Structure 1
Amino acid sequence: MELKRLPTLAALLLACSMPTMADIEGSADHPLLGRFGDATISAYQASNYAAATLPSGPIADARAVDNQLELEGRVTRIGYRLPVEHTALEVARNYEANLTEGGFDILFQCTGPTQCGRGFSRYVINEGVVFPSAFDRAAFNDNFRALLAMRADEQGTSHVFLYIMEDRPNDRTLVRQVVVESEALQLGQISVKDASALQAALDADGSVIVDGIFFATDSATIEAESAEALEQMAELLRSAPELSVYIVGHTDNQGSLDYNLELSQRRANAVVEALGALDAIDTARLDARGVASLAPIASNANEAGRAQNRRVELVLK
């Protein structure tokens, strides 16, 4: 999806002077927005498709957040630094004008802990949800402003979140920016391991994740697109008649542990049943076990990690 840069303002935003420090290697302004004046890029992260969580209202407690927006799409996070004589108010007003001129609606904006809530800064900077915990490290203070904007048009839906803070002890103003361009996920990119690859992984590690097994949401119903992965599991079992394995179901940590233990067991049972329905597969060689979220391979703090944790695994007996 090709996106055009928003119209520039004749004032400070986007009409950049030469930066006093170089941008970090591999970074660039986002084509939707750009930068304020002589800001330089001090942190940068771009993902072709990922999950992003953005605050959508005041936050009193960083550990108990109701006002948040869960998004997926192309995600770009940028950290800018500029001289502290540019106040958070000045920077925020320029961004607000630029976004409005570009057809964005301002969904939420606030100033300091009185409007944003005492937990807002901690949630944005320290919790590793909006930004990775090591992203452009900074201690937060009360001199900040935040803004969330959205634009929906024929090019798609885009969200912009900005957190702008004056760090006067260090003579700088910091801008943290997230842009999420929501678009349909390109499916069909998973390369299902064939029987020989499954065998090689079992020989090397004693276990293997079976990519390409999909279940209906909150269900043990196996989706039709899982057929190829099931057939490769069956071929492995046909080619190695002495092989006995655990079929292990994993979930993310959403919901109670007891419920997820039961769901993961039902999903493991469903895989055994599906394999038993294929030719020449003796289900006595298969031991279904559900372990819920007890063995994660990624963080459950975001949807991208939770998706990795919802999986089926073969483990040698």
Structure 2
Amino acid sequence: MNLPRQLLALIPALSLATAALANTPPADVAGGADHPLIKRFAGSWLAGQRVAEWDAAELPGSAQVNKRDKQKFADVISLEGKVTRLLYIAPQGKSSLEVWRNYEQALSQAGLKKRFVCERDCYDLYLSWARQFDPNKGMNWAKAYIEAPGGRSYALTSALNSDEGRMLVGTLGKPGQEATVLLYTSVAANAKTGYVATYLQVVEPKAMATGQVSVDPAALQAGLAAEGRVTLTGLFFDTGKTELKPESKAQLDAMAELLKSQPALKAYIVGHTDNVGSFDANEKLSLARAQAVVAALTAAPYKVDAKRLAPKGLASLAPVAGNGDDAGKARNRRVELVAQ
């Protein structure tokens, strides 16, 4: 079939336009934006983003895995604050090393203090990270697909993998205000896609908003009457610390009022933890927190008789939720009032 010369002249232009469209990244996830501290690799698509204004987060503290349990890291960083998680897909044709090196150099130039870096033989590190913290499972907030040559598509929930995986963890910012950064890059889904995936997690120190929950002594009494124990949700500690934070006052006031209104009541103050870290360390932490509560109640202004309160620490022996995700771990980190 002979085409008019005008149509023949349009074919190269149409081909170029089609190629340009193919290389145009999809639109960023709705409402998505780079973190102010770290800009994306040029031309990348922000495929997923989740921001929690205040939450708990746990990151690997080193590349070493537990000698007895290869699925867990030997060192875990437990943090609280503003948590930002981002998933980027770099343009096709970029190597994973090129993407990694650009991020690493930019972070280093910004003053990142590296806690650890893994650039080679990171397979075991990725498996431990995937099993313990399950970043891909958390990608259910990135609900889209990577379109690969040949018409195949791969869910973003499988974007991260061990293929050419590289990871670093470090801190960025002024002393006392450091943000903790985790960077991981790998081939996106698999080598057939021609894409590179980048995962960024930034945890910024931030005080939790307080005064959002009121504590009713009657509710404590109702919990004791119904189950013989009640979780003290208004007690607050910094991660890994045993000192009660000032915002615990409302809970202590309610406990003191309950004990005053029930002079025959004797109680155990029982500390609990999640299963992160060694059992011995968690047992000491849970007991020390229970002791801190007892010390606060027996001191001025409450002056509860110390004979009425007994501190105990059960570490992770009595969970109320699974420890497979941050929400479950947060529920397990608690202090309870248990009637003797």
Q: Which residue of 2 aligns with 1:137?
A: 157
**Aligned with 2:36 (options 18, 31, 35):** 31
**Aligned with 2:215 (options 193, 196, 211):** 193
Q: How does 1:1-317 map to 2 (within 5 A)?
A: 20-49=25-54, 50-57=56-63, 62-63=70-71, 65-66=73-74, 71-104=79-112, 108-113=116-121, 116=122, 118-128=123-133, 131=135, 133-135=137-139, 136-138=156-158, 140-153=161-174, 156-166=177-187, 167-181=190-204, 183=205, 185-186=207-208, 189=211, 191=213, 193-202=215-224, 207-213=229-235, 228-239=250-261, 246-252=267-273, 253=275, 254-256=277-279, 260=283, 264=287, 267=290, 271=294, 274=297, 291-297=314-320, 309-315=332-338
Structure 2's unaligned 5+ residue stretches are 1-22, 140-155
Q: CA 1:224–1:35 in 2, change beyond 3 Å: closer, same or farther?
A: closer
Q: Is the 8 A contact 1:248 1:312 kept in 2?
A: yes
Structure 1's unaligned 5+ residue stretches are 1-17
Q: 2: distance between equivalents of 1:187 and 1:210?
A: 18
Q: 2: distance between equivalents of 1:40 and 1:150?
A: 25
What letter corresponds to residue 270 of structure 2 in structure 1?
Answer: G
Q: 2: distance between equivalents of 1:169 and 1:186?
A: 44
Q: Which residue of 1 aligns with 2:152?
A: none
Aligned residues: 294
Q: CA 1:271–1:98 in 2, change beyond 3 Å: closer, same or farther?
A: closer
Q: Is the 8 A contact 2:47 2:89 kept in 1?
A: yes
1:287 Cα deviation from its structure 2 partner? 8.1
What letter corresponds to residue 157 of structure 2 in structure 1?
Answer: R
Q: CA 1:67–1:272 in 2, change beyond 3 Å: closer, same or farther?
A: closer
Q: 1: distance between equivalents of 2:200 and 2:181?
A: 7
Q: Is the 8 A contact 1:249 1:289 kept in 2?
A: yes
More helix by share: 2
What is the Cα-based RMSD across aligned positions, in Å? 4.8
Larger Rg: 2
1:165 Cα deviation from its structure 2 partner? 0.9
1:66 Cα deviation from its structure 2 partner? 4.1
Q: 2: distance between equivalents of 1:282 and 1:127?
A: 41
Q: Which residue of 2 aligns with 1:5?
A: none
Q: Normalising by the residue count of structure 2, what TM-score does the alignment of the two structures yield? A: 0.63
Could you tell me the percent identity over the aligned residues?
30
Q: Is the 8 A contact 2:118 2:166 kept in 1?
A: yes
Q: Normalising by the residue count of structure 1, what TM-score does the alignment of the two structures yield? A: 0.66
SS of structure 2 residue aligned to 1:160: strand
Q: Is the 8 A contact 1:234 1:275 kept in 2?
A: no
